[in-house]
Amino acid sequence: MIAIVDYGMGNLRSVEKGFERFGFDVRVTDNPDDIKSTDKLVLPGVGAFNDAMDGLRQRKLIGPIVDFISSGRPFLGICLGLQLLFSKGYEDGEHAGLNIIPGKVVRFNFSGNGTKEKLKIPHMGWNQIVFRKDANPILKNVPHDAYMYFVHSYYVCPEDKDIIATETEYGAYFTSMIWHKNIFATQFHPEKSQQCGLTMLENFGNL
């Protein structure tokens, strides 16, 4: 069973359909008991950091998610589901995240990193990922220069650089995927990234 967390935000159906394509048993749920008992867990999301944390809090899902990840079972975060893993997010103020991954979530600041070109925010559309770690099981059969689909204005800054699985260039290089033990999380949307993204979902389902 693959459980997809429903906390009131994000395109859950597209993620569900991505897994169903390969015949996986998948359920969209906001029931804490489903999260506790599932084999694999997916935390998707599109929207504001603090609104998402409020949604998780109201549904009493924070504890079950943290416990699930601590159990060592496979976890996949997508877009906002990556960002929520971090200690703090700086969207409309400073807000506490799940604090599973030490680090912060910040807005693109092109003048701050010396980029002269005026790039659009949000970063939206197709962009390449660059592998920073080998042997990532959910990137099996995905090309090292694959294009993935992004929609975001904020990106993660992990304190431990060794967990960075891929980076992507947009004004400067930013972390587009992390991998730490049983935690896999992407800034891009595998479910919207055609064959390369669907291959990732299949790989995760087969873990």
Active-site residue list: 79, 189, 191
Furthest CA-CA distance within the chain: 50
Strand partners, 90: none
Please report the DSSP string for 74-86 in residue order. Answer: -EEEETHHHHTTE
How many angstroms separate the CA atoms of 114 and 117, rounded? 9
How many angstroms separate the CA atoms of 12 and 16, rounded? 6
**For the packed helices 194-205 and 12-20, what is the interaxial angle rounded to 10 degrees?**
70
How many angstroms separate the CA atoms of 113 and 133, rounded? 24
Rg (CA), the chain: 16
Kindly give the pairing relationship between strand 130-131 and strand 147-152.
Answer: unpaired
Strand partners, 130: 167
Residues 6+ apart with CB under 8 A from 30: 5, 6, 7, 8, 59, 61
